[in-house]
Amino acid sequence: MGTVDDLQRQRRRSIAIHRAALAILQQQPELRFVLLERIPEKRAKRGDLHGWYSEWENILTDGSLEAFRRVAEGEDSHSSDLRSVTPVGSILPADVRARALATIA
């Protein structure tokens, strides 16, 4: 089990990655559909995990990015749980991910 510092670092990394994904989605909102296409595959592998994939579907079909922003930046446990089953890896280029993670101490 990780230490408190490890868990905080992991949470900061998750937020940084999701902020980077949010920036991409703001520039290319059509990429929401790429994320939506990934969810059934993830759900088939892991189940719906407390309805989190269904919630991601709702967030991505919302029409605005406000709900995504709340999850991306949320410090609460629910946002953290949602980020743990995120579909954003499919739209995040390796260099963008690396830059986002480089901001974490």
- Would you list the domain boundaries of the chain? 4-102
Distances in Å between the Cα of 5 and the Cα atoms of 13, 33, 50, 71, 94 are: 12, 35, 27, 21, 25
pLDDT (0 to 100) of residue 4: 78
pLDDT of residue 12 exceeding 80: yes
**At which residue do the structure tokens 């079909």 appear?**
61
pLDDT of residue 2 exceeding 90: no
Task: Give Cβ neighbours of residue 62 (< 8 Å, ≥ 6 apart).
Answer: 68
Q: Residue 103 CB: number of other CB atoms within 10 A?
A: 11
pLDDT (0 to 100) of residue 105: 60
Q: Which tops the pLDDT comparison, 102 or 1? A: 102
104, 12 Cβ separation under 8 angstroms? yes
15-74 per-position pLDDT tens digit: 999 999 999 999 999 999 999 999 999 999 988 878 999 999 999 998 889 999 999 999
